Structure 1
Amino acid sequence: MSAPGLPWRVPAALCVTQLIHWGSLFYAFSVLMPALIAETGWAREAVVGAFSAGLLAEAAAAIPIGVLLDRIGARRVMVAGSVAAAAGLFLAGKVAAPWQLYAVWIGLGATMAAVLYQAAFAAVTAAFGREARRGIAVVAFVGGLASTVFWPVTGWLVDAVGWRGTCTALALLNLACAVPHALLPRASGRKAATGAPVPADGPALGWRFAGLAFVYAVIGAASAAIAVHLVPFLQERGLGASAALLASLVGVAQVAGRVAEFAAGGRLSVPAATLLALGTQAAAFALLGLGWGAPLLGLAVALYGAANGVLTIMRGALPVHLFGTARYGTISGALSSANALARAAGPLAVAWAWGVAGGYAPAFLALAALAIAGMVVFAAVASRRPVAPP
């Protein structure tokens, strides 16, 4: 479906920068980590802890960054974020003590709120108004390829120039992102024309907002749990060396889900697509908890990936649908904070459950129940009439 008049140059620029920022700030860490540990001799738990501290910093920064997105616009926030990300990655290659690694990654975590989806979706919403779902889908589609591109690229760089040199190369890529960010529109009449007033008591005081924050937390906990624990879970189920190959279906299915959502052209409403994706995630976790054998587990992994791909788009579109485009940055910032906190807590909760139960099955069944709870809460949230377009 064509959409003449929409400023597609905005998502086009953000596709490039999201690929780089996600690839270097989020996915590259797992490839850098083995080389870092081998050189420094630091404990694996301590190194992983730096990344978790960064996720907590992202959660803390999400709300003030959201306010800045509304006050000064995504262009300035994302330019500053790209420069800060470059500085942080350069310093990451210079660390000589664990406390320095923590300091650098906490700074990088705060920077994530200014350059990843929260800020990118705000930029698209400012440009597209209530048509933002379509631009968000394009950005999320390319962002979903970040691991596919940057895991092998980072590995090649580590082999070629070492992990410290790789940090410098990634820093230069992040610095280059400031150029397309500087070319983003300063402001958008489209946003002003389509923005709807938010209730005077503010979204943070409404039960609808609290329910939506819970749904964002469910999505965050699930995605982080899968990112950290899927491969060891599949190994536990007897798949051995093929576990990593089967786990890679998540990325493929995630992109496929986003392509399907965009191709659907909005024939499913935002609430309907969200409920369908949450239900699919619940089914996927139930299959993981109860299933055995590569075919069934592969189906579960693919279902999870497709659902998560759609939910990434819905995360950007839901604030517009439910609250309008006014104060999008502030609202999405608070929701992103809930999501980031859950991403930090999810892997720890699954690890604790694994220790108690002696296996992953109960933890994945609990995630299935959590997804069902998310469906119930979201159905209540979506049953209220959304903000109407003018």
Structure 2
Amino acid sequence: MGERGFGGLIAGLGLTMIMGYGALYYAFTVMAPALMAEFGWSSSFTYGCFSLGLLAGGLMAPVAGRQFDRFGVRLPMTIGSAAAALALAAMALVQGPVSYGVALVLLQAASTFVLYDAAFTGISQIAGPRARRVITALTLIAGFASTLFWPLTTYLVDHLGWRETYLVFAAAMFVTCVPTHYLCLAPADRQGRRVAPPVVGEVVAPQAAGSLWRQPAFVLLATSFCLGGFVLAVFPVYVLTILGALGTAPSTAIWVAALIGPAQVGARFIEMVGGKGWGATTVGLLAASALPVALAAVLGSGQGTAFAVVFALFYGAGQGLKSIAYGVVPLALFGAAGYGTLLGRLSSLRLIVSAVAPFAFAALVDGFGMDAALGVALAFAVASLAAYLALLRRLAPRPAAA
């Protein structure tokens, strides 16, 4: 397999990605009701502060990306893991709205140093041209973060309480992620932050950060990722509400929504096993193409369960492939030089969109109704695909002049 020889790296980062996404992101869905019950906060305030944290992460992402390019990822990810553990401990000590908001900002700022962007950059530095296969294998493992942490967090909150659960996660983050990042990323430092030949991109590699916006390929890629990111940010929050509003029975909506996770992992597995002949840009195309199909299907879900199932399968597949595309498409297009900075810029935009999307969608539903709001989301998905197709057209070789 293309990832042979990097088993330790994949296993180590797989463990830390599950821990990172589980404790820093997915656990909050379970913790939020307990926080609201104890402090009497509204849902809009509780989740609004989480979105504020995402905005902070978006602002921090370019800074983190520059550090990854300058120092490699071993030191930033090790220190970032310790900072994330401290931020989780701060969540356990929350006493009011101010300390809550500060803790969430610290939590999401620290997350930019320990999640996919950092891992993908480290893989590109260590695995070189074989990075795509390693990234795919990593996302396959990390895809189980929600599967593991939603029930685990529920169990711990029920038996220990939300504060004690945050302390458990803080200790687990420190004990598992700090030494794992230091040890499994060591080859990147010992070999001058790269143990394989660098990836050479299809597009001129970015130089100064400001020059990225003068490259049409970057603008089109960022536009596609951000528009698709809007759709991907909305459904984890509203999927049951959306299906219910369109006429799907509550019991049916639950099992349909449960198909999203397996579809996500299944798409990644197919890409890992059968996608060796695909170019990285093909992965991005498949991901961008799946979302319009999913949105069109969900709009018809009131006509029958089959539409809802099609939505779940295509949405899950699109979500699963998007995680891979976020890492491998920029690497294929721009190469390894400045890859951390490039990912930081892209993630900054994505995180800001992810923070705003749920509120924007809710405002659309309140003002114009569910069908209209989903119509806007479908338009975003189609526009995301159109921007990606425009990118591919720019990359297509032009026939030589006669």
TM-score (norm 2): 0.91
Partner of 1:327: 338
Deviation (angstroms), 1:204: 3.5
Question: Per the alignment, do residues 348 and 319 of structure 1 end up closer, same or farther by CA in structure 2, a change over 3 Å counting?
Answer: same
CA gap of 1:67–1:241, structure 2 versus 1, over 3 A, is same
User: Which aligned pairs between 1:161-176 and structure 2 lie closer than 5 A?
Assistant: 161-176=160-175
Which amino acid in 2 is paired with 1:366?
A: V
Cα distance in 2 for partners of 1:24, 1:179 equals 17
1:53–1:106 CA contact under 8 A, matched in 2 = yes
What is the CA–CA distance in structure 2 between the aligned matches of 1:275 and 1:15, rounded to whole Å? Answer: 25
| Residues 187-196 or 27-36, more deviating | 187-196
Question: Does residue 260 of the first structure (1) align with residue 270 of the second (2)?
Answer: yes
Query: Is 1:294 aligned to residue 305 of structure 2?
Result: yes
AA aligned opposite 2:317: A
1:130/1:325 contact within 8 Å kept: no
For the pair 1:356 / 2:367, whether they are aligned, the reply is yes
Q: Counterpart of 1:138? A: 137
> Which of 171, 189, 194 is residue 194 of structure 2 equivalent to?
189
Give the distance between the partners of 1:370 and 1:70, measured in 2 at CA.
Answer: 32
Give 1:243's aligned amino acid: A
Alignment of 1:153-232 (within 5 A): 153-176=152-175, 177-183=177-183, 184-185=185-186, 186=189, 187-190=192-195, 193-195=198-200, 198=205, 200=207, 202-232=211-241
CA deviations on 1:164-193 (whole Å, 9 max, x unpaired) are 000000101111211110011324434554
Deviations 1:279-300 (CA, angstroms, capped at 9, x unpaired): 1210110111233222221221
Structure 1 residues 194 and 235: alpha-carbon distance in aligned structure 2, compared to 1, 3 A threshold: closer
Q: After superposition, what is the alpha-carbon deviation per residue over 1:93-147, rounded to whole angstroms, capped at 9, x for unaligned? A: 1111111100000111111111111111111111111221111111111111111
1:186-239, Cα deviation, whole Å (9 max, x unpaired): 244345544566255633331211111111212321111011111111121242
Q: Deviations over 1:36-93 (max 9, x none)?
A: 1112222222111111111111111110000001011111111111101100111101
Contact residue 72 and residue 193 of structure 2 kept, 8 A: no
Distance verdict in 2 for CA 1:318–1:193, change over 3 Å: closer
What is the alpha-carbon root mean square deviation over aligned residues?
A: 1.8
371-380 or 304-313, which moves further after superposition? 371-380
Distance 1:284 1:173 in 2: 37
Q: Quick one: which amino acid aligns to residue 254 of structure 1?
A: Q
User: Which residue identity lines up with residue 278 of structure 1 in the other structure?
Assistant: A
What secondary structure sits across from 2:113 in the alignment? helix
Letter in 1 for 2:309: G
Aligned match of 1:8: 7
State TM-score, norm by structure 1: 0.94
Unaligned runs of 5+ in 1: none
Change beyond 3 A, Cα 1:248–1:3: closer
Would you say 1:50 and 2:49 are equivalent positions? yes
Contact 1:23 1:146 in 2 (8 A): yes
Match of 1:305 among 316, 319, 333: 316
Are 2:200 and 2:332, in contact at CA under 8 Å, matched by a contact in 1? no
Letter in 2 for 1:344: A
User: Which blocks of at least 5 consecutive residues in structure 2 are unaligned?
Assistant: 398-402
Distance 1:213 1:71 in 2: 23
Q: Does the residue aligned with 1:384 lie in a helix, a strand or coil? A: helix
| 2:400 alignment partner in structure 1 | none
* Structure-2 separation of matches of 1:314 and 1:193: 19
Which range moved further: 371-380 or 13-22? 371-380
Residue 97 of structure 1 corresponds to 96
Q: Kindly provide the amino acid, as one letter, of the partner of residue 314 in structure 1.
A: A
2:334 and 2:363 map into 1 onto residues whose CA distance is 37
Q: For 1:366 and 1:112, how far apart are their aligned partners in 2?
A: 30
**1:374 corresponds to:** 384
Say if 1:51 and 1:193 are closer, same or farther in 2 by CA, change over 3 A: closer
> Post-superposition shift, 1:357?
1.9
- Matching residue of 2:148: 149
**In structure 2, how many angstroms separate the alpha carbons of the residues matched to 1:301 and 1:325?**
34
Confirm or deny: 8 A CA contact 2:80 2:110 kept in the other structure.
yes
User: Equivalents in 2 of 1:142, 1:253: separation in Å?
Assistant: 14
What percentage of residue pairs aligned between the two structures are identical?
Answer: 32
- Check conservation: 2:231, 2:377, Cα contact below 8 A: yes
